[in-house]
């Protein structure tokens, strides 16, 4: 089992959570099913399987990993298919050509990597404020649905010739609900491993660290445009949530 930040296992927390109103049944038994025949390897084990060598607790290591194709035709029972794979490939070799930043870490600028700077300017660059500014942002690990979206987005775009993400995500949301428990469980399991590895890589990280980094103005807008004002427990608004999704054939769903 995977201990969470609260000291409870993920399954325990999940079992304690109230039943989602969108009708997706709790999957905890399936997690047990998954963990038993396919015990989650410790991150160190995963690294060994992938032939990479890097101390997991090293703070500055987290920046490198090797991106894989991301195909999930056959979902592996390892974490690595696209977010944390060969995590340490090239990590011990700064500037290693095969090394690209871990997707969970982005420069605080959000745009590009830091440029090399002159030694004579190093003293200035070492100022605390600058360090703070250059501090990379560690992103949240992706949840099961996000993993599903990442895999299926291209497929939906190809099928529907849509490009607008909002519309794509609506379709993906319906498809997600149409998945069997077993199919969903694959993604829940992947997400669980993602969180586990994220915890190992960034022990002190908290989701709170990223709070306020996205400026949102939608809340006021929504509170004005929706009489109820507040989103329901699922992040949607009563008016929208109350309207049943229109039936779409499976080719679209």
Q: Does 3 bind DNA (CB under 7 A)?
A: no
Q: Which two tokens stand for residue 221?
A: 């807008």
Helices (runs of H) and strands (runs of E) counted in the chain = 10, 2
Q: Which is nearer to DNA, 92 or 107 (CB)?
A: 107
The number of angstroms, rounded, from the C-alpha of 105 to the middle of its chain's C-alpha atoms is: 12
| Phi, psi of 9, deg, nearest 5 | -70, 160
Instruction: Check if the beta carbon of residue 190 is closer than 8 Å to that of residue 183.
Output: no
Q: Bridge-partner residues for 252, per DSSP?
A: none
Q: Does 158 bind DNA (CB under 7 A)?
A: no
- What is the nearest approach in angstroms of DNA to the Cβ of residue 18? 6
Q: Does 208 bind DNA (CB under 7 A)?
A: yes
Q: Spell out the residues 6+ positions from residue 248 whose beta carbon is closer than 8 angstroms to its own.
A: 171, 174
d(CA 189, CA 79): 9
* Location of structure tokens 């022990």: 203
Interface segment toward DNA; rule CB under 7 A; list 43-51, 113-121, 127-135, 219-227: 219-227
Count of residues that bind DNA according to CB under 7 A: 63
Q: Which two tokens stand for residue 227?
A: 């009489």
Residues of this chain, 80-109, that bind DNA according to CB under 7 A: 103-104
* Binds DNA (CB under 7 A): choice among 9, 12, 14, 92: 14
Q: Which two tokens stand for residue 75?
A: 């979902």
d(CA 173, CA 171): 5
- What is the nearest approach in angstroms of DNA to the Cβ of residue 35? 14
Q: Is the dihedral of CA 44, 48, 49, 50 positive or negative?
A: positive
Of 89, 42, 29, 47, nearest in space to 65 by CA: 89
Q: Does 131 bind DNA (CB under 7 A)?
A: no
Instruction: Check if the beta carbon of residue 232 is closer than 8 Å to that of residue 238.
Output: yes
Interface segment toward DNA; rule CB under 7 A; list 45-53, 92-100, 121-129, 138-146: 138-146
Q: Which is nearer to DNA, 122 or 247 (CB)?
A: 247
- What is the nearest approach in angstroms of DNA to the Cβ of residue 72? 14
Residues of this chain, 231-250, that bind DNA according to CB under 7 A: 231-236, 240
Q: Which is nearer to DNA, 122 or 213 (CB)?
A: 213
Q: Does 64 bind DNA (CB under 7 A)?
A: no
* Binds DNA (CB under 7 A): choice among 69, 112, 218, 227: 218
Give me the residues that bind DNA (CB under 7 A), please.
Answer: 4-6, 10, 13-14, 16-18, 20, 22, 24, 103-104, 137, 139-140, 142-146, 149-150, 153, 163-166, 169-170, 172-173, 176-177, 184, 188, 191-192, 195, 206-208, 210-219, 221-222, 230-236, 240
């Amino acid at each position: 089992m995977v201990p969470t930040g609260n000291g409870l296992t993920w399954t325990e927390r999940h079992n304690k959570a109230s039943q989602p109103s969108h009708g997706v049944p709790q999957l905890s038994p399936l997690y047990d099913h998954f963990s038993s025949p396919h015990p989650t390897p410790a991150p160190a084990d995963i690294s060994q399987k992938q032939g990479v060598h890097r101390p997991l607790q090293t703070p500055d290591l987290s920046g490198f990993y090797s991106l894989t194709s991301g195909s999930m035709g056959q979902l592996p029972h390892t974490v690595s298919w696209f977010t944390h794979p060969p995590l340490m490939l090239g990590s011990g070799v700064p500037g290693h050509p095969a090394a690209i930043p871990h997707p969970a870490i982005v420069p605080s600028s959000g745009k590009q990597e830091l440029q090399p700077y002159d030694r004579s300017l190093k003293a200035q660059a070492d100022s605390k404020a600058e360090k703070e500014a250059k501090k990379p942002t560690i992103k949240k690990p992706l949840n099961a649905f996000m993993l599903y979206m990442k895999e299926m987005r291209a497929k939906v775009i190809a099928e529907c010739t849509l490009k607008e993400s909002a519309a794509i995500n609506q379709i993906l949301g319906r498809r997600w609900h149409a998945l069997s428990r077993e199919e969903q469980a694959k993604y829940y399991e992947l997400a669980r491993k993602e969180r586990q590895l994220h915890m190992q890589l960034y022990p002190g990280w908290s989701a709170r660290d990223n709070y306020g980094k996205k400026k949102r103005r939608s809340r006021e807008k929504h509170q004005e445009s929706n009489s109820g004002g507040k989103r329901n427990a699922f992040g949607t608004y009563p008016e929208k949530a109350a309207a049943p999704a229109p039936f779409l054939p499976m080719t679209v769903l």
